[in-house]
Structure 1
Amino acid sequence: MNDETFYDLSRASAISARLVRLAARPPEPPPAPAPPASYVRFPRTQRGSAGGPPSTDLRERDLDEVEWSSAMMGSGGWTALLEWCVSAVDGDGAFIVDAGGLVVAIGGNLPTDVMEETGARLSFAFEQGDRMLGGPATVRSIGIELERGWLVGVQVRTVEGMALIVGVVSPSPLSAAARDTLVRVFSKKALGV
């Protein structure tokens, strides 16, 4: 039989005294506040007169064609194009995902895990949009207003006909002309021109 019993009063008294001492300790200090974001965003364009975001006309003017160079070749070219895109629209980040939501490239200041998840969800939104159309037509672009800014996605095709989705997080929506410029520039890379 076991030497210890549940009715050992001296042992119960010792446990009780230890619990009282633990309860009498001062409470743990609250955790330190989270560190600030690892980056600071300085907008390139002036804000509107009412303090709101600049008009989309400024976005169009900023979207001049990117200068092509040998740096655009290979996988590094995707990153160079994304950096151009983020700079051109004064965005927080940009990414490219395939139709299955797998990341091809990421650029900008947003955390990688946020961009990966956003890319997968945007890919799913394009798929759902294509289903709603119910025919051979496909969704060309999607714009989603966020609490602060916009998520804009455009779809481009590769040489093999596969869809790639370019997503941009920016402070204001992109005009149709700006979206067309994104499609033209990223299609050039996707088609290997």
Structure 2
Amino acid sequence: MSGFAGAVVKLAKRTVFRLGYPLARVWWWAVPQSAEGTAVAAVSGNRVLVVRQSFRKGLGLVGGGLRPDERPAAGAARELAEETGLRLAPDRLHPEGSIKLVHECRRLRVHLFTVGFDEPPVLQLDGAEVIAADWMDTESLRRRPDLHPVLATWLSMRRTAPALATAAQEPSAGPPNGLQPSAMISAGHPREDPGAG
């Protein structure tokens, strides 16, 4: 697919997300819903990877809903690959348990996973669902008012930087496939702070 055609496809997907999301929220409000999903905290030292989605404000972790009969670790690895281009085996992700919450009129159960890196790896964002990402200091994140509740909950579970450093130093958590460090990633756009806007 050419660069122009790829850009058109990404624009079309972003449009679907942006138009469909408000309609979905109305449906969730009108008809009580429950859902099960995953979230992945990729950490490097005291920084965690946060993403900005094309259809909602605020910052969150990589993640999404589980497919029918999909195991949580497999779903987390799939979401990580789809949204960031990082392809890891499910057993590379460390399970952190699950949380239950009500968000946007839906009852959610979210399985949390952590994966650590010595250095932040290069990402390739999908450009449709996720349009920007950054490795942000956890203390700075805690002061922000625009966090998705799953990210806010994960931060409350990880009150100190040493906990993140320990995860990043696990033997199975090295950068995959020889990927090189990168400080900032955006999906085919100029450098941008995912917290802007």
- Give the TM bin, normalised by the shorter chain: under 0.3
Greater strand fraction, Structure 1 or Structure 2: 2
TM-score of the superposition, structure 1-length normalised? 0.26
TM-score of the superposition, structure 2-length normalised? 0.25
The structure with higher relative contact order (CA 8 Å, sep 6+) is 2
